[in-house]
Amino acid sequence: MKTTVILLSRLPQAAYTKSVLMLALILCLTACAGKKRQVDENKIRIIVTSDGEIDDECSLARFLLYTNEWEVEGIVTSSSQYHWHGHNWAGDDWIEPYLEAYAEVYPSLVLHDPDYPSPEYLSSVTFLGNVEAEGEMELITPGSQHIVELLLDESDHRPIWIQAWGGTNTIARALKTIEENHPEKMDYVANKIRFFFIWEQDPTYQSYIRPHWGKYNILTIISDQFWAFAYQWNKIVPREKRSYLEADWMKENILGNHGPLCSLYKAHVSGSHGLAGDRDFNQGDFRSEGDSPAFLHAINTGLGNLEFPGYGGWGGRYVKVRDNTWLDPVPVADYEYPLGRWYSSSAWGRQYMRQQYPENLHLMEAYFKPITRWIEAIQNDFAARADWNVKPYEEANHPPVVKLNHKAECRAKPGSRVQLSAVDSFDPDGDELSFKWWYYKEAGNYGGELQILNAEESEAVLMLPDELPDKTTIHIICEVRDSGSPVLTRYKRVIIKI
């Protein structure tokens, strides 16, 4: 049944009659009605923990529009140094209005992709975690226990990306329960875990997770680059890209006439301020989605960055600083990363914005570029998802499919010509495609310049210099845009090893 629906959703536009769409919807609703959906081995598994800050709410609105991309295993409310019971608390049930709004737009969303999880399923995996105080991890909570059950479940060995949009305390409580009750399972559990933290918003990663689980070398990304997509975006995002975050664009593409879920999106109100000292924002301006990079990293855009944080993708680019811990690449020679927490009081970008801005702007631009370089594509993708709330398939845009006509990794010799091709790429809506092959210098280990012939064609040629160090790695991105509205972009990465 599920296969039939997927095939229907990929038919050419002309085949989308009203009866076919209704059949697809009925079949999908039937398939998705239960608590657990059919396992898709190609799907990424995700658990979100969040402290319910306003920017978390904005991130959640966007997140729900991308839930077709992953197996969402849990949405858990936690606390942080900024929010806990009795302190700037959004309420134990702050997620409910968003899930209710999702339920209203769900019948429209599944017309665009039947893999959207049912509202009943998302509600069934939404829990309250450790929220009594900053860093509280002594209580066993429904949220922590849900994480425990998922990690111990040996019927599904696929990795689980655990995201901390707030503090890590509920995650820490779950891991402590496993250590106390199932120490023999710690190695198995550690092999399943991947972490993406938006700062360390409480001390529990340093006080418990790292000392007790560090020996397992769990892939851990801790982001400070997210600040480019947070409250001070109006200072950080390059001026030529700010229009995608300003009121006119937001009102037209997200806030107005895009259904109940987008209407909950908490953009700026008239005359509101970001942080102290910022200019006034206009009503409708993007406010903050500081937590979105955690799941933007996990969207399969074709960049292949999921297990390789140094590759760079929509969620930023990171460098390994110790063990398997990846932090933001600081553009300062001989910079020494702190041994402890990477958060608002220590992370380089946040300290720059407090202490140096607007001096040395070239450093700020380099530091945040791993996220700001994608702003146009990210926002246009959001706008397309917003359209899916209210438009039938044939009236909305869907991303192109990029296909390489050769392997994604190849070996080459200095002075050679590397043939690049993506001629089999296509667009599900029949839109014309435009191509751009570009050199992602920071992702590889070669610092020189490179020439790409026919860089704006489906077939191009990379000209390698006559002299290149052995073991040089070069990353070339094939960026493909459609001609729909909004313009959507997908990619493939070609890695050349000398």
- pLDDT over threshold 60, residue 177: yes
Q: How many CB atoms lie within 10 A of CB 124?
A: 14
- State yes or no: pLDDT of 23 exceeds 90: no
Average pLDDT over residues 231-256: 98
Burial classification of residue 385, based on how many CB atoms lie within 10 Å of its CB (0-12 exposed, 13-18 middle, 19 or more buried): buried
**Cα distance between residue 319 and residue 327, in whole Å:** 6
Residue 34: its pLDDT value, please?
Answer: 42
Confidence (pTM)? 0.91
> Is a pLDDT exceeding 50 seen at residue 24?
no
Confidence check: pLDDT of 17 > 50: no
The confidence band for 399, taking pLDDT boundaries of 50, 70 and 90, is very high
* Spatial distance between the Cα atoms of 121 and 140, rounded to a whole number of angstroms: 23
What is the number of alpha carbons within 13 Å of residue 385 lying toward its C-beta? Answer: 20
Mean pLDDT of the chain: 92
Q: What whole-number distance in Å separates Cα of residue 218 and Cα of residue 415?
A: 39
Domains of the chain, with CATH numbers? 1-29 (no CATH), 34-396 (3.90.245.10), 399-497 (2.60.40.10)
pLDDT the model gives residue 271: 60
Q: Is the pLDDT of residue 397 over 70?
A: yes
Confidence of residue 44 (pLDDT cuts 50, 70, 90): very high
List, edge to edge, every strand of the sheet that includes 319-322.
126-128, 70-77, 44-50, 160-164, 193-198, 219-223, 325-327, 319-322
pLDDT at 31: 42
Higher-confidence position of 302 and 12: 302
**All residues at 6 or more sequence positions from 25 whose CB lies less than 8 Å from its CB, including other chains:** 107, 110, 111
- What's CA 210's distance to the chain center, in Å? 24
Band (pLDDT 50/70/90 cuts) for residue 395 is very high
> Is 6's pLDDT higher than 80?
no
Residue 170 near residue 144, CB atoms below 8 Å? yes
